[in-house]
Amino acid sequence: MAKWEMGFDLSALEALVNERATADPASSYTRQLLDSGVEKCAKKLGEEAVEAALAAVMDDREGLTKESADVLFHLLVVLKARGIPLADVYAELKSRQAQSGLAEKAARRG
């Protein structure tokens, strides 16, 4: 049984992306994306993010749900393409918990 069948979260999705990254390109969209390079992966992430934003503005709940899934998937593909584990993103999010979002944003400007 695949890890994601036992319970699904972003770590399970990352494991699935990692697994499919080494699959036969003829049967793996993930592998095809990674083989096309980080620019193609990033372009797909951007396209999906725009589609999610448009669905939100249009109050399209089903569309936003589906596009959000696409955004998360493509984000993990981009992270994989750049060799950044999801654990690094989690660590960054955890480090930001000590301050408010407004304070964190102000600190980046300074």
pLDDT, tens digit, for every residue of 13-34?
Answer: 999 999 999 999 999 999 999 9
Q: Residue ranges of the chain with pLDDT lower than 70?
A: 1-6, 110
Q: Residue 98: what pLDDT? A: 83
Greatest pairwise CA separation for the chain in angstroms: 49
Q: Residue 82: what pLDDT? A: 98
**The dihedral formed by the CA atoms of 96, 104, 51 and 19, expressed in degrees to the nearest 10:** -30
Q: Residue 107: what pLDDT? A: 80
- Write down the number of H helices and E strands in the chain: 7, 0
Residue with tokens 């300074």: 110
| Domain 3-84: assigned CATH number | 1.10.287.1080
Q: Residue 86: what pLDDT? A: 97
The amino acid at 48: E
Q: Residue 1: what pLDDT? A: 46
With contact defined as beta carbons under 8 Å apart, do 4 and 16 qualify?
yes
